[in-house]
Amino acid sequence: MNNGYVNLKQQVIELINFLRSMLYPEIFGEMGYKSTEALRSEARSVLVDSLKTVCEEDTDVEKIADEIFKKLPDVKSLLDTDVQAAYVGDPAAKSTKEVMLAYPAFEAISIFRIAHEFYNLEVPILPRMMTEYAHKNTGIDIHPGATVGEYFFIDHGTGVVIGETTTIGKNVKLYQGVTLGAKSFAVNPDGSLVKGIKRHPDIGNNVVIYAGATILGGNTSIGDNCVIGGNVWLTHSVDAGNTVLAAHERNEIFTN
């Protein structure tokens, strides 16, 4: 692995800007004074340089770059659904352009969906740097390993945390302060943390989770069409169709 990390943070920011410019030139701007070919060439140059910095020397970084570019149309298709979900789901949204230009959720989700493709290709360091850049700018912390379905909307957004092994279905809406996290950490006999296991919850389709709710654990599943109330703390599963207003300390669920 190359140890020349001095410029890596700036490269990651440039890479995010270039890739999002390729997805939405009218929003992210770089296309305004560059041809499509020039933009792609510059994006590829930054991408390859970044990959050379973080990958082992025998890694075929050109192949990884090709795979990233192949995935961009799929990323855009998913992001288009996220924009629509925000526009339809927020009565304050006056247009899809407003969502893309003003909403911190779109800032965070657009970076996450790109970073997720890097994560799936097992690129080290870069995907986490991307989502932490979004975290710093928006207060929304989505691990690049999370799996998130289409039509995803985070309203307001500040303080949302989504862990690495979380899965989220289609048409899910989160409010500010929601945590989809780990309940506890398994340890090895030497006291070190066990890594690579399922630690975070599964969220079904058509779920709404209100502000401040905390849902923890790799065995915790929220079924389709559930509504989870504000400030609810859950470490156990909820069957489909329930509205959870409070979670009793003995794991009894009170619904309306």
Inform me whether the pLDDT recorded for 44 exceeds 90.
yes
Please indicate whether residue 38 or residue 208 has the higher confidence score (pLDDT): 208
Angle between the N-to-C axes of helices 104-120 and 61-89, in degrees from 0 to 180, rounded to the nearest 10 = 150
19 and 135 fall within a common domain: yes
- Count of structural domains within the chain: 2
CA distance 109 to 115: 10
Residue written as token pair 């360091």? 125
Q: Are residues 66 and 180 in the same domain?
A: no
Helical ranges in 90-197 per DSSP H: 96-102, 104-120, 126-138
In this structure, is residue 75 part of a structural domain?
yes
Q: Is the pLDDT of residue 237 over 90?
A: yes
Question: Residue 243 is part of a domain; what is its CATH number?
Answer: 2.160.10.10
Q: Are residues 24 and 108 in the same domain?
A: yes
Task: Please check whether residues 30 and 129 belong to one and the same domain.
Answer: yes
Which range marks the domain in which residue 164 is found?
Answer: 159-256
Which CATH number goes with the domain that contains 113?
A: 1.10.3130.10
- 180 shares a domain with 246: yes
Last residue of a domain, one of 104, 139, 174: 139
- List of residues 6+ apart from 157 with CB closer than 8 A: 103, 104, 105, 108, 138, 139, 140, 176
Q: What is the mean pLDDT of the chain?
A: 92
Mean pLDDT, to the nearest integer, of 64-74?
98
Residue 154 lies in a domain: no
> Average pLDDT in the 8-32 region?
88
In a domain, 146, yes or no: no
**Amino acid of residue 94:** K
Same domain, 108 and 226: no
79 with 117, same domain: the answer is: yes
135 and 190 assigned to the same domain: no
State the pLDDT at residue 155.
97
For 137-154, how does the pLDDT look when each residue is reduced to its tens digit (9 = 90+)?
999 999 999 999 999 999
My answer on whether 93 and 196 are in the same domain is no
Residue 255's pLDDT is: 45
Would you state the pLDDT for residue 251? 47
In a shared domain, residues 100 and 165: no
pLDDT at 248: 58
pLDDT for the residue numbered 4: 72
In this prediction, residues 178-205 reach a mean pLDDT of 89
Is the overall model pTM greater than 0.85, yes or no?
yes
Residue 42 domain flag = yes
Co-location of 167 and 58 in the same domain: no
Cα 183 to Cα 114, 143, 227, distances in angstroms = 28, 16, 21
Residue 149 falls inside a structural domain? no
Examine the domain organization and report whether 129 and 230 are in the same domain: no
Residue 144 lies in a domain: no
**E-state strands within the chain:** 141-142, 147-148, 153-154, 161-162, 167-168, 173-174, 179-181, 202-203, 208-209, 214-216, 221-222, 227-228, 233-234, 243-247, 253-255
Mean pLDDT of the 180-193 span: 85
- Average pLDDT on 41-66 reads 96
